[in-house]
A and B are shown apart, each in its own frame.
Chain A
Amino acid sequence: MNRFLSKDFLSGVMFIVFGLTALYFGNHLALGTPVRMGPGYVPHKLACIMLILGGIISLVPLFGTATRLEKEAIWIPVGVAVILFIPAAHYLVPLFDSVPPWLVAVAGDWFQLIATAGLLALLLLGALVPIFGTARAAPGALEPVEAPKWKPITMVTIGIVLFAVLLERTGMLPALVALVLVASLGSEEFKIVEVIGNMVVLAILSIIVFKIGLGMNIAVIEGVW
C-alpha cells in the first residue's frame, strides 16, 4: 500500500487543513494581549495547535515506515533544516524592511513559528520521500483507508439537501417523498413497492408527530394545508 494513504497520515492532513482554514478566516480578528484577549486570540492558538498536532499525526506513521537509508538521507537533513528555520526566521525576518507585516507577526510568535516549521517539514518530506525514497509500505505496517462506497453517502447527502430545498417551497410531503426516494436508492436493495409503503407510513407518522402533536408551523403541501 501507499504510505501516504494510511488513516493516520490522512487524518493528520485533515487536521492541518482545518488549522489553515481557521488561520486564514480568523486572520482579520484582533489578537489582543494575554491580559485583554481579542476575539482572535483563542482561535489563533487553537489553529496553531491543530497544525502542530496534525503535523505530528501525519509524520509519525511516515517515519515509522521509513527505511534506515531514507531516515539518514532525507529525515535527518529535513529535521535539522526545520529546527534551524525556527530561530533563523525569528531573528532574521525583522531585519528586512520590505517584508509584509503578516510575515513579521508570524516570525515574532514562537508558537506560530513552530506550527509553520512543522508544516514546512511535512511539505518537504511529502515532496522528497516519493522522489528519493519509496512511497510503498510493507503490507500490514499501516492501516489503510478503506475505499469509500460512493453510493450511500452521495444519495443520503443529496436526499437531505433536496429536502432542505423543497421544504419551504413545496411543503413537507413532496420533500419527504424526495428524501425517502433518494435515500432508499442509496441502499443495496431497492423495491419500489416497499419504498412507497415506507413513504405512506412516514408521511402519516410525521404529520401526526410534527404537525398535530408538536403543532409545528410547517405546511404539509405548500398553499393547500
Chain B
Amino acid sequence: MIIGDDNPSDSFPPFFPIGDSFRYVDALDGSSALFDFSQAELFQHASGVLFFVDSTGDVFSSQALPSGLPLASFNLMFGLVDIFDDNFEETGRLMFRIESIRAVPEPGSVTMLCLTAIALATWRRRS
C-alpha cells in the first residue's frame, strides 16, 4: 500500500496523483482466466493497482497507513492491471473506473457478532 499526502503536481498523474491518495498494489496470479500467456515469448509479470485519490488534499494529514478508508472523501477511484515482460517492457494494460465501493465486514466478525448476540439473548432470558 502507498499513502500519499499533499502530493504536488506530477507529470504522470495516474501513478503519483495530485493531492492525497491511497494506492493498493498486488502481484497477480498469472494463471488467472484474465490472462493468456500461452503464446508469450517471455515470462510475463502482472500486477493490479487500485487508486483512491482526494485531489483536494484534505483526506490524509500524514503518511500513516489508515485504519479503514474514508470512502466518501475520494473524488477519483480507478484500477489498473499492468503486464510487463522480463525486459520490463509493458505488454498489456487494462484500466477501469471504480463507480461504487463499500466496506465489507469480515465474515468471521459477522459470525462472532451473531453468536455473541445469540448467547447474550439466551443468557438474559434465563436470568
- Asked whether A and B interact, the reply is no
Q: Which residues of B contact A (CB under 8 A)?
A: none
